[in-house]
């Protein structure tokens, strides 16, 4: 996500699904996810998994599911049902391959306009690194609320507000920025992130805004993580040290009001 290696942006800023459908981006993103010490595995995943707890017997909805590797994990962990939503065709194709032979399913929908399901049938909603692509967060959160059973769990991760403020890192080593220029922190709204050979359109929000939006939609914030790097998941001590310089992610654990 926050690789700020100088590169020539290629074309106009693309909305989330179109960005991931860009051939160069899709291949580079997938390759990045297999690298040892990639930030998703070392930083974002541990708190998400901890916040979700036991998925045994749960119905799980995943917003911005990408390749649905998480769906496979959820079902192997005992989840009864898994539904992933995404609007990138390439991601969904990969997701169907990853879920083959399981009862997991994925659906094509744009989270910017998606209206959810008729009944509140999910015990758990998870959304990993997708909601900072969505402009109308308030609208989507009311949909999430409707999808969850009373008392249900909502875990979401986004790029850290410090990162989304500017996408302006320097002193890159091994692809990691270890200094970040923060400007316009309180000027919320659209940002352009030149990344993986294209430009992604993202949305910057402060922590206050995430908190207010969740509370106003009827969620109680139960735990918060800034994905503080822990030594164990890292193979390289050097990358661990680099990752302690700039926060990468924010993860919220919320409960739907009963």
The burial of 15, by beta-carbon neighbours within 10 Å (0-12 exposed, 13-18 middle, 19 or more buried), is given as middle
Q: How large is the angle between the packed helices 23-33 and 89-99, nearest 10 degrees? A: 40
Could you tell me the smallest distance in angstroms from the CB atom of residue 80 to ligand SAM? 20
Collect contacts of 75-82 with beta carbons under 8 A, ≥24 apart: 75/99, 75/102, 75/103, 75/104, 78/54, 79/55, 79/124, 81/122
Q: Does 136 bind ligand SAM (CB under 6 A)?
A: no
**Contact by Cβ (8 Å): 59, 68:** no
Q: Does 3 bind ligand SAM (CB under 6 A)?
A: no
Region 148-187 residues binding ligand SAM, contact defined as CB under 6 A: none
Mask of contacts with ligand SAM, 95-114, x by CB under 6 A?
---------------xxx--
Nearer to ligand SAM among residue 31 and residue 238 (C-beta): 31
Only segment of 125-133, 146-154, 186-194, 233-241 that touches ligand SAM (CB under 6 A): 125-133
Only segment of 64-72, 160-168, 211-219, 234-242 that touches ligand SAM (CB under 6 A): 64-72
Mask of contacts with ligand SAM, 199-238, x by CB under 6 A?
----------------------------------------
Show the beta-strand stretches assigned E in 75-208.
81-86, 105-108, 122-128, 148-159, 169-173, 176-180, 189-195, 198-204
Could you tell me the smallest distance in angstroms from the CB atom of residue 258 to ligand SAM? 28
Which residue in the set 99, 106, 130, 147 belongs to the binding site for ligand SAM (CB under 6 A)? Answer: 130
Which residue in the set 60, 75, 87, 203 belongs to the binding site for ligand SAM (CB under 6 A)? Answer: 87
Q: What residues contact 221, with CB distance under 8 A and at least 6 apart?
A: 211, 214, 215, 252, 253, 254
């Amino acid at each position: 996500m926050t690789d700020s290696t100088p590169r020539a942006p290629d074309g106009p800023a693309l909305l989330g699904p179109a960005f991931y459908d860009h051939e160069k981006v899709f291949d580079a993103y997938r390759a990045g996810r297999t690298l040892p010490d990639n930030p998703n595995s070392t930083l974002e995943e541990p708190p998400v998994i901890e916040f979700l707890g036991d998925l045994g017997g749960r119905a799980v909805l995943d917003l911005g599911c990408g390749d649905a590797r998480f769906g496979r994990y959820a079902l192997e962990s005992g989840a009864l049902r898994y539904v992933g939503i995404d609007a990138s065709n390439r991601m969904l194709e990969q997701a169907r391959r990853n879920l083959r032979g399981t009862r997991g399913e994925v659906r094509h929908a744009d989270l910017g306009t998606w209206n959810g399901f008729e009944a509140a049938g999910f015990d758990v909603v998870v959304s990993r690194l997708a909601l900072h692509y969505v402009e109308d967060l308030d609208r989507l959160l009311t949909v999430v609320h409707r999808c969850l059973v009373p008392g249900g769990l909502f875990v979401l991760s986004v790029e850290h507000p410090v990162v989304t403020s500017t996408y302006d890192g320097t002193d890159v080593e091994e692809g990691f920025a270890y200094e970040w220029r923060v400007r316009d922190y309180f000027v919320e709204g659209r940002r352009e992130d030149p990344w993986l050979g294209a430009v992604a359109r993202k949305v910057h929000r402060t922590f206050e805004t995430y908190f207010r939006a969740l509370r106003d939609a009827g969620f109680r914030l139960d735990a918060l993580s800034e994905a503080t790097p822990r030594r164990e998941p890292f193979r390289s001590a050097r990358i661990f040290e680099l990752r302690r310089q700039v926060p990468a992610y924010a993860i919220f654990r919320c409960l739907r009001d009963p």
